[in-house]
């Protein structure tokens, strides 16, 4: 698995995306205050011939962007999110300083440059009512941490890049935080009184030189943090050994590609996370964290209104997604087949504008431990401005 991961990174590391997310729009804009946002409103209904389920209606997320360009070199970007009406988060808050036209220094709470949706997660930018679960459980979206980094481009080679040093996941806080079912997701510190022993490294490089294509590769390497190190006597070998059992070494690699040419669009992504010290971690915390997690999806779409005299788009799409948070486990942990999950989605995205869309999809959600798929019907409203 390690050799395969290294092979993928080497192959794609010479091949970011020309599309802009909201933060990039703010930085590229003129001086002054900039206000924007995005929203996602969902209806989810589980379907079964023998059981009646109520629909779940949810203002899933409502986000406000506030940015300010002080001059042509210095910008500040913030993203404040309400989830499910009652939960409030800060998703981005960083300063951007242009060292030169094609290179900037960034510092603050930043998105980790891993995969497609962690960087480009505004709802009208992807098909399907919900985000892909590969990005939810393996990446895990929306993943942001505190740190400092460089971002820029080499226009002569059609390459964009990002590199940053950030705090790691919180893997232990009065108990184990990671698990086999949800992977690393619950360990995101999100800039909320985060702590750090040593910085982790994250980087992305991407190629946009072929017409219609955006191809990228991402890397993350470091160790999870642990509250057990707070106030720890480093001369106490027994205490240090116990604290070390609550930490996980993490190496995550991802490759992704997007294609858009006329009515045809497609995207694909593969993520692998290799975790160290899981045997000790699981024994200490009574968790079942896997030592390797993998996930991928393949999606194709077609604009049915391409030949019509309209700027609207009606995109019919299909996606196959598979992710396994127990791809491999260490001794003492039994593979849970229900963590090997497969999702098949077909749907429509009706774009009234690039920033406004209605969505509908039907999903079959399965896992290797069950013969029956869960059937989901989803409707959504997506906006971005």
Query: 71, 60, 64: which is closest to 30 by C-alpha?
Result: 71
Contact 150, 166 (CB under 8 A): no
The pTM of this model reads: 0.90
Query: 344 forms bridges with which residues in the sheet?
Result: 320, 364
Instruction: Out of 8-12, 234-238, 377-381, pick the least confident.
Output: 8-12
pLDDT tier at 7 (50, 70, 90 boundaries)? Answer: very low
Listed range (17-31, 117-131, 306-320) with the worst mean pLDDT: 17-31
Lowest mean pLDDT among 12-21, 116-125, 195-204: 12-21
pLDDT band for position 238 (cuts 50, 70, 90): low
Report the chain's terminal Cα–Cα distance, integer Å: 42
* Domain range summary for the chain, segments of one domain joined by +: 102-384
Instruction: Note whether 77 and 94 are within 8 A (CB).
Output: yes
CB atoms within 10 A of CB 119: 25
Q: How far is CA 11 from the centre of its chain?
A: 22
Q: Say if residues 148 and 164 touch (Cβ distance below 8 Å).
A: yes
Q: What is the pLDDT of residues 188-200, one digit of tens each?
A: 999 999 999 999 9
Confidence bin at 23 (pLDDT 50/70/90): confident
How far CA 354 is from CA of 24, 125, 171, 257, in Å, comes to 17, 8, 39, 20
The single-letter DSSP state of residue 53 is -
Nearest CA among 68, 57, 130 for reference residue 94: 68
Report DSSP letters for 89-126, one per residue. EEEEEEEEEEEETTEEEEEEEEE---TTTTTS--GGGS
**pLDDT over threshold 80, residue 234:** no
Output the average pLDDT for the chain. 92
> How do residues 41-85 score in pLDDT, each as one tens digit?
999 999 887 788 999 999 999 999 999 999 999 999 999 999 999
Opening angle at CA 171, ends 165 and 176, nearest 5: 180
Omega before 142 within 30 of 0, i.e. cis: yes
CATH class given for the domain over 102-384 = mainly beta
């Amino acid at each position: 698995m390690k050799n395969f991961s290294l092979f993928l990174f080497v192959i794609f590391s010479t091949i970011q995306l020309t599309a802009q997310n909201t933060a990039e729009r703010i930085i590229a804009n003129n001086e002054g205050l900039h206000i924007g946002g995005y929203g996602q409103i969902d209806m989810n209904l589980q379907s079964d011939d023998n059981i009646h389920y109520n629909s779940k209606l949810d203002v899933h997320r409502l986000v406000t962007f506030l940015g300010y360009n002080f001059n042509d070199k210095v910008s500040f970007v913030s993203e404040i999110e309400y989830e499910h009406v009652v939960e409030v988060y800060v998703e981005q808050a960083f300063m951007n300083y242009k060292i030169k036209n094609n290179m900037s220094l960034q510092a603050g709470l930043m998105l980790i440059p891993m995969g497609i949706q962690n960087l480009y997660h505004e709802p009208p930018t992807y098909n399907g009512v919900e985000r892909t679960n590969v990005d939810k459980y393996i990446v895990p979206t929306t993943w942001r941490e505190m740190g400092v980094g460089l971002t820029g481009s080499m226009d002569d080679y059609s390459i964009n890049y990002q590199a940053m040093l950030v705090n790691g996941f919180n893997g232990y806080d009065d108990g184990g935080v990671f698990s086999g079912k949800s992977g690393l997701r619950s360990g995101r510190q999100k800039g909320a009184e985060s702590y750090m022993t040593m910085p982790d490294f994250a980087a992305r490089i991407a190629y946009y030189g072929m017409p219609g294509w955006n191809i990228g590769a991402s890397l993350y390497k470091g160790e999870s943090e642990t509250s057990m190190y707070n106030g720890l006597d480093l001369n106490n070998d027994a205490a240090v050994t116990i604290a070390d059992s609550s930490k996980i070494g993490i190496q995550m690699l991802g490759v992704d590609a997007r294609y858009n040419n006329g009515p045809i669009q497609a995207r694909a992504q593969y993520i692998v996370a290799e975790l160290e010290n899981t045997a000790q971690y699981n024994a200490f915390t009574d968790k079942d964290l896997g030592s390797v997690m993998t996930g991928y999806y393949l999606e194709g779409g077609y604009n049915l209104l391409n030949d019509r005299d309209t700027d609207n788009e009606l995109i019919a799409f299909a996606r196959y997604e598979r992710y396994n948070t127990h791809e491999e486990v260490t001794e003492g942990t039994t593979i849970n087949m229900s963590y090997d999950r497969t999702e098949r989605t077909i749907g429509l995205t009706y774009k009234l504008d690039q920033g406004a869309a209605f969505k509908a999809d039907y999903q079959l959600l399965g896992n290797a431990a069950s013969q029956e798929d869960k059937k989901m019907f989803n409707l959504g409203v997506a906006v971005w401005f």
